[in-house]
Amino acid sequence: MPAAPLKNADPTTTSVLTIDLGALRANYRALRDLAPGAECAAVIKAYAYGIGTEQAVRALSKEDCKTYFVATFSEAQTVRNAAPDATVYVLDGFFSGSGPAFAEARIRPVLSCIAEVIDWAAYCKGKGEPLPAAIQLETGMNRLGLPISEAVTLVNATETLNAFTPALLMSHLACGDEPENSMNKAQLKAFEDMRALFPPCPASFANSAGIFLGESYHFDVTRAGFALYGGRAVNDQTPLAQIVQCHARITQIHEGQAGETVGYGAAHTLTRPTKIATLSLGYADGILRCLGASDGKSGLSGYIDGHRAPVLGRVSMDLITLDVTDIPDALAERGNWVEILGDHTSVDDLAIQAGTIGYEVLTSLGHRAQRIYIDAETGAA
């Protein structure tokens, strides 16, 4: 991803997320091609994993993506505004009284318990129109979905089932990131067995990780999520193209002496005369506090024109301090940019350092950052 977009940064901004929509489109094509017999839907929840819902939807629409999954109704409204003709599913809850809002916006609920099914069926019956919805089946994750007992009850309740249009049967893998985990096959069998109870209907089982598990997991619709945004959805898998770079501006350069400490808690003691760069970036921007350093513990590193600059002391709410002693003075100057995520450090790299997962890092990034959208495929910015 080119550094040139930083030249277009607002002079008042302290951090920038550069988001390559061309890479997003390329990742979508790659995931779609892994399951050629299925429609590839996009999961756009959590502000499209932090990159921007409207921008992501418009980019993916150019690749003929027609179906989107979100977590909440408000997210679905944003998708609907960006893609008026798309199919949009809400994953996380359909509540009593919300039927008119879903129907008016042409948004489909994912029904995950009998109570939700009854509410949607009652609304459709009252409206006199069998509106579409997805039915989620519980296959072993114990999070959302109808267990086998409720599925049997529903199949036998023909009046309820006939009041709406089951447009999709779906479930979710618990261990898809571990291809050899026996739970994947167990869940697949449970899904196939439960699906057989229902009248013929399109099915969706594979999230990003499931796409890599092979054809038997693909069914009719795959749901591309984390991998779409350049994350490693399967352990040891080479991720697709990186979508996001994060840069922060140096606010101040100053000197510290051996024996002095840096940051809150005086947790990091300098062992030599040290040139310190303070960046306007912190845990309020998604750079997790545990990525700081202390005596005996290293943390994240920034990069200035390829030169590594390790963090000094704790990550605070708005600021990070880096050791730039060994970096040429012309590069380590007030106002210059430091790469936190990019060519040298991926979202997954930062997550491993933090003891978490790339999903958390990606969706936490840059609420205060300026977002600059580019398309490296075409050279557009």
Determine whether 275 is an active site residue. no
**Rounded Cα distance, 326 and 233, in Å:** 36
Handedness of CA 299, 300, 303, 304 (dihedral sign): negative
* Measured torsion, CA atoms of residues 13, 16, 22, 28, in degrees rounded to the nearest 10: -130
**Rounded Cα distance, 347 and 226, in Å:** 11
Determine whether 49 is an active site residue. no
**Rounded Cα distance, 122 and 163, in Å:** 7
Q: Which two tokens stand for residue 17?
A: 């997320």
State the catalytic residue, choosing from 45, 49, 359, 373: 45
Burial of 86 (0-12, 13-18, 19+ CB in 10 A): buried
Rg over alpha carbons for the chain, rounded to the nearest Å, is 24
Q: Which residues contact 279 (CB under 8 A, 6 or more apart)?
A: 248, 249, 250, 251, 302, 319, 320, 321, 322, 338
State the catalytic residue, choosing from 47, 66, 125, 264: 264
The residues assigned a catalytic role are 45, 264
